[in-house]
Amino acid sequence: MKTWMSLAECLRRSASICAALYVMGSGTVLHAAAPIVKSFDAPGAGTDGDTQQGTEGVAINDFGTIAGLIRDSKDIRHGFLRHPDGTFTVFDHPEAGTNGATEQGTKVEGIFSAPSPDNTGTPITSIILTFANPTDAL
């Protein structure tokens, strides 16, 4: 046997459920901390905006390490990591070309981390990168 609710009873119950969900969720949603935005320039980054020189952050992992690329004063791309303590590691793929006019160099495309296999607390960080060299143009 089916029991039917009146429209008024249905609306009353729906309103009660909505009010309860709003109250339960408001503690986390309404009191979220504002994000912190910090600007930075990686070492060796060029300053000519017309040729897209400078620093480009590409990805950030759960530990706060930022991966990205810079274009130096000769328009050559290099990869970088900005560590949570603010220090940098700038690197090049060993086979990357050095002709900035043809957009050669190292290009970072992402970053991810995994917990350490020996549980020492030091995470493993992997960088996804590509590179362009003179033979790529052939």
Beta 88-91 vs 66-71: how paired, if at all? unpaired
- Which residues, at least 6 apart from 127, have a Cβ–Cβ distance to it below 8 Å? 67, 79, 81, 108, 110, 111
Q: How far apart are CA 111 and CA 61, in angstroms?
A: 6
Q: 53, 52, 56, 136: which is closest to 102 by C-alpha?
A: 136
Q: How far apart are CA 78 and CA 94, in angstroms?
A: 11
Mean pLDDT to the nearest integer, 47-70: 88
Give the pLDDT of residue 111.
Answer: 81
Q: 95, 90, 85: which is closest to 71 by C-alpha?
A: 90
- Going by pLDDT thresholds of 50, 70 and 90, the confidence category of residue 1 is very low
Give the pLDDT of residue 34.
Answer: 81
3-state secondary structure 44-79: CCCCCHHHCCEEEEEEECCCCCEEEEEECCCCCEEE
Quick: pLDDT tens for 75-106: 999 999 898 899 999 988 888 888 888 888 88
Judged by DSSP in three states, 124 sits in strand
Average pLDDT of the chain, as a whole number: 74
Indicate if the alpha-carbon torsion angle 128, 132, 133, 138 is positive or negative. positive
Quick: pLDDT tens for 25-51: 554 555 677 878 888 899 999 998 888
